[in-house]
């Protein structure tokens, strides 16, 4: 068995920035597990460049805990690092490196405690789920949970080790972003009625989004743990037109929705679609099929909802001595695992304040505490 520091140093050594391959890192984990007698299933992306790892210890005919984490990390470009981000170094009880807290620390702790469980006769299974592209479009978690659904695997609960300083999180908003493209009909600006101005239609669409956002703001969720306590919208990118004297042919708008748990994104999208059909689409009629508009879903990450009966919450509250759970503003893979029909708890070493920054680090005591928490929890859930 390797200690978590050594494992963390090995994991940080793989540059798994989301746009690069994570295969070498996954191979390392697979080989490590194989050495302690645990077989893994590797689920690759279509181009084979990325992979998720799924492994089970113990019986396969019972529900078990899933220990989940992402292997990818955010880029280091443009950040002012004191040392090589892909070489873990320790300074004054802190381990520095890209992914040191988000979230190779948890994976290192899981791998450190696992060998002793691999030797035991487990009464209930333990599963490992390591993904790619959590920091981008969550394609890994989507693919992995689709695979589990096909295999009919329902966990007892899922523990995701995102950096929370070992506080317990059971709720976050969902995020989704969209690209709306409007095609108008160009012409000379002196004859505006001969063409159809895509930018003008874009402005109408922005107004629909603004009104929808306003509607959500008017009806905040009572007892919400979020600030703000409603779904929010952001207009992120707008592009269009070619010159001041040409009726704009194109307009592109990229927008985002952060869905409050309990708010139905599909209903929101239907609402936007209905208003668009009523207010904008009739203007295309004269110019069809040349003119038109379409919206594509670029990414959709479900919210994480607290559930009444969460065994993970009960165990981790007791073992950490905490008596509350919290809501966070950042998204995780939690909604995908919750979609399998089992509760999720987010709890991991390190702080989100150190994540995604130059000189990202995790404290030694956080690693030690996480290992102890894993040992106690796994002993309990596999009895």
Q: Which residues are catalytic?
A: 72, 134
Give, in order, the Cα–Cα distances in Å from 310 to each of 33, 59, 115, 377.
Answer: 29, 22, 27, 14
Given CA atoms 270, 271, 276, 277 in this order, what sign does their dihedral have?
positive
Q: Please classify residue 185 by burial: count the beta carbons closer than 10 Å to its beta carbon, then call 0-12 exposed, 13-18 middle and 19+ buried.
A: middle
Using CB under 5 A as the binding rule, the residues of this chain from 153 to 172 that contact Zn ion are 162
Task: Give first-to-last CA distance, the chain, whole Å.
Answer: 22
Interface stretch with Zn ion, choices 38-46, 103-111, 260-268, 272-280 (CB under 5 A)? 103-111
Residue 132 Cβ vs Zn ion, minimum distance, rounded to whole Å: 12
Interface stretch with Zn ion, choices 21-29, 95-103, 151-159, 253-261 (CB under 5 A)? 95-103
Q: Please classify residue 344 by burial: count the beta carbons closer than 10 Å to its beta carbon, then call 0-12 exposed, 13-18 middle and 19+ buried.
A: buried
When binding is defined by CB under 5 A, the residue of 17, 71, 88, 102 that contacts Zn ion is: 102
Interface stretch with Zn ion, choices 89-97, 102-110, 281-289, 361-369 (CB under 5 A)? 102-110
Residue 172 Cβ vs Zn ion, minimum distance, rounded to whole Å: 12
The residue number with the shortest CB distance to Zn ion is: 102
Alpha-carbon dihedral angle through residues 70, 361, 226, 336, given to the nearest 10 degrees:
0
Residue 352 Cβ vs Zn ion, minimum distance, rounded to whole Å: 8
Interface stretch with Zn ion, choices 96-104, 116-124, 234-242, 295-303 (CB under 5 A)? 96-104
Query: ∠ at Cα 282 (277, 288), nearest 5°?
Result: 110
Question: How far is residue 18's CA from residue 144's CA, in Å, rounded to a whole number?
Answer: 17
Q: Given the complex with Zn ion, which of 164 and 268 has the nearer CB atom?
A: 164
Residue 331 Cβ vs Zn ion, minimum distance, rounded to whole Å: 9
73 lines the binding site for Zn ion (CB under 5 A) = no
| Number of residues in contact with Zn ion under rule CB under 5 A | 3
Query: ∠ at Cα 314 (311, 317), nearest 5°?
Result: 140
Residue 70 Cβ vs Zn ion, minimum distance, rounded to whole Å: 6
Residue 351 Cβ vs Zn ion, minimum distance, rounded to whole Å: 12
Q: Given the complex with Zn ion, which of 7 and 248 has the nearer CB atom?
A: 7
Q: Given the complex with Zn ion, which of 102 and 313 has the nearer CB atom?
A: 102
Give, in order, the Cα–Cα distances in Å from 278 to each of 88, 281, 285.
Answer: 57, 7, 12
What letters, b where the CB count within 10 A reaches 16 and e where it falls short, cover 60-85?
eeeebbbbbbbbbbbebeeeeeeeeb
Interface stretch with Zn ion, choices 90-98, 101-109, 120-128, 242-250 (CB under 5 A)? 101-109
List alpha helices for 127-182, DSSP H: 139-151
Residue 232 Cβ vs Zn ion, minimum distance, rounded to whole Å: 21
Q: Given the complex with Zn ion, which of 22 and 180 has the nearer CB atom?
A: 22
When binding is defined by CB under 5 A, the residue of 68, 103, 248, 304 that contacts Zn ion is: 103
Q: Given the complex with Zn ion, which of 162 and 360 has the nearer CB atom?
A: 162
Which contiguous run of DSSP H or E holds residue 368? helix 364-381
247 close to 184: Cβ distance less than 8 angstroms: yes
Assign residue 36 a region (left: φ > 0; alpha: ψ between -120 and 50; beta: otherwise).
alpha
182 close to 251: Cβ distance less than 8 angstroms: yes
Ordered DSSP codes for 188-215: BTT-GGGSB-HHHHHHHHHHHHHHHHHH
Residues contributing to the site for Zn ion (CB under 5 A): 102-103, 162
């Amino acid at each position: 068995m390797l200690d978590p520091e050594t494992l963390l140093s090995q994991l940080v050594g793989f540059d798994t920035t989301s746009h690069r391959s994570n295969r070498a890192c996954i191979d390392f984990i697979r080989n490590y597990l194989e050495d302690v007698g645990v077989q893994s299933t590797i689920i690759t992306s279509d181009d084979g460049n990325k992979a998720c790892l799924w492994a089970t210890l113990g019986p396969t005919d019972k529900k078990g805990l899933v220990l989940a984490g992402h292997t990818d990390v955010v880029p280091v470009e443009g950040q002012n690092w004191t040392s090589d981000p892909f070489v873990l170094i320790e300074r004054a009880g802190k381990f520095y490196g890209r992914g040191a807290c988000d979230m190779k620390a948890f994976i290192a702790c899981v791998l450190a405690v696992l060998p002793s469980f691999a030797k035991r006769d487990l009464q209930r299974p333990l599963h490992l789920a390591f993904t790619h592209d959590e920091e981008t479009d969550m394609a890994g978690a989507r693919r992995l949970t689709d695979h589990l659904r096909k295999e009919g695997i329902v966990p007892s609960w899922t523990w995701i080790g995102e950096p929370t300083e070992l506080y317990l999180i059971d709720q976050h908003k969902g995020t989704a972003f969209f690209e709306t493209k409007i095609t108008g009909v160009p012409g000379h600006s002196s004859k505006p009625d001969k063409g159809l101005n895509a930018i003008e239609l874009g402005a109408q669409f922005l107004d629909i989004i603004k009104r929808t956002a306003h509607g959500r703001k008017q009806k905040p969720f009572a007892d919400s743990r979020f600030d703000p306590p409603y779904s929010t919208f952001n207009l992120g990118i707008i592009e269009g037109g070619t010159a001041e004297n040409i009726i704009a042919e194109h307009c592109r708008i990229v927008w985002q929705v952060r869905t409050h748990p309990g708010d139905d994104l599909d209903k929101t999208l239907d609402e936007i679609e209905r208003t668009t059909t009523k207010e904008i689409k009739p203007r295309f009629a004269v110019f069809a099929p040349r003119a038109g508009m379409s919206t594509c879903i670029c990414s959709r990450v479900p919210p994480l909802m607290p559930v009444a009966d969460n065994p993970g919450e009960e165990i981790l509250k007791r073992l950490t001595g905490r008596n509350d759970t919290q809501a966070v503003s950042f998204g995780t893979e939690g909604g995908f695992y919750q979609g399998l029909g089992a509760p999720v708890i987010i709890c991991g070493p390190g702080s989100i304040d150190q994540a995604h920054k130059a000189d990202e680090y995790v404290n030694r005591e956080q690693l030690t505490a996480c290992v102890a928490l894993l040992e106690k929890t796994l002993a309990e859930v596999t009895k």
